[in-house]
A = this chain, B = another copy of it.
């Protein structure tokens, strides 16, 4: 993917608030990792581990921490190279402006209110009573259900589904295939069959949330499933009915949260984590990938394993498990030795 424009190092220094060591008139046309960058690229040193690559890079300049010295390339010194990298990519690859208007093939109900600065793509469906805020984009083949409200600067990617009566905040991004507001999975067994509990609640997604491809967020049975501001959810994740996911939470790919869980702010759940229903996870908890959480996690910090335990404990158990076959052998040897001692004593 080609960058939208080129910059001089001087322009970049100003835009990033960086201190430039190097030729401010030198032109760069792209961004690339240290080992792949060419003389037309600017690169970045976001991890001290890669210092040696920075010494060998062909890049015109490197965005690097403020205390970086000794590089033969230009250096753009910044307080945080990681956040500067975000800005750098935004400069070279700006989001194209919204081209307002509804594609002629879109089906937008008369009673829907689509802001005049918003865009609706081909074959998108916006049902009655839905509201689409300023500068929001509804991708091709997407579905926005009746009475659903989208904030401003929302991006609904092609083929996402947002059901009826959902509330979506500002700057929310929903990727292709995600389904927001599918029915919660709730049944009552009446002795003969599972009877469906009507799922009459809704979903509320706050500002700055991102939801990955083919992820499913179920509506509440009654009340609401909530995803609070700043939370980022990866692909193929399941968030079940009546969950409350806190602020700035990370849910990595294929993680599943069963019904009525509470996930504390700033928690980070690795990939393929499972959390049983009605579980509370403390703010700031870090769950290893594939953890299985079967009960509340009362304090933050790293946890892991199935059943999930504080990570240090799980690490000890896993290490000891590897020695289990040896332990069995040692046990047998010891039993023989004790029997020998006992028989001599008896003898």
Contact = CB atoms under 8 A, between A and B. Distances in A.
A190 interface: yes
A83 B195 contact: yes
Contacts of A342: 337, 341
A194 B232 contact: yes
A234 to B, nearest CB: 4
A89 interface: yes
B125 A122 contact: yes
A238 B309 CA distance: 26
A241 to B, nearest CB: 11
B238 A238 contact: no
Contacts of A185: 212, 232, 234-235, 252-253
Contacts of A194: 230, 232, 248, 250
Interface string A220-243: 001100000010101110101000
A188 B47 CA distance: 13
Interface in A184-200: 185, 187-188, 190, 193-198, 200
A299 interface: no
A57 interface: no
A213 interface: yes
Interface string A79-93: 010110110011011
Interface residues of A, number: 112
Nearest to A32: B222
A60 to B, nearest CB: 16
A116 interface: no
A327 B328 contact: yes
A254 interface: yes
A238 B271 contact: yes
Contacts of A107: 103, 105, 122-123, 140
A338 B344 CA distance: 14
Contacts of A201: 1
A290 interface: yes
A317 interface: yes
5 contacts: A86-B188, A89-B222, A213-B218, A238-B254, A323-B328
Considering the complex of A and B, which 10 residue pairs feature the smallest CB-CB distances, nearest first? A320-B324, A182-B213, A216-B235, A89-B198, A179-B213, A238-B253, A213-B216, A82-B188, A161-B176, A290-B292
Interface of A: 1, 3, 31-33, 36, 80, 82-83, 85-86, 89-90, 92-93, 103, 105, 107, 121-123, 125, 140-141, 143, 145, 157-159, 161, 163-165, 173, 175-177, 179, 182-183, 185, 187-188, 190, 193-198, 200-202, 208, 210, 212-216, 218, 222-223, 230, 232, 234-236, 238, 240, 248, 250, 252-254, 256, 258, 270-272, 274, 276, 289-290, 292, 294, 306-307, 309, 313, 316-325, 327-328, 330-331, 334-335, 337-338, 341-342, 344-345
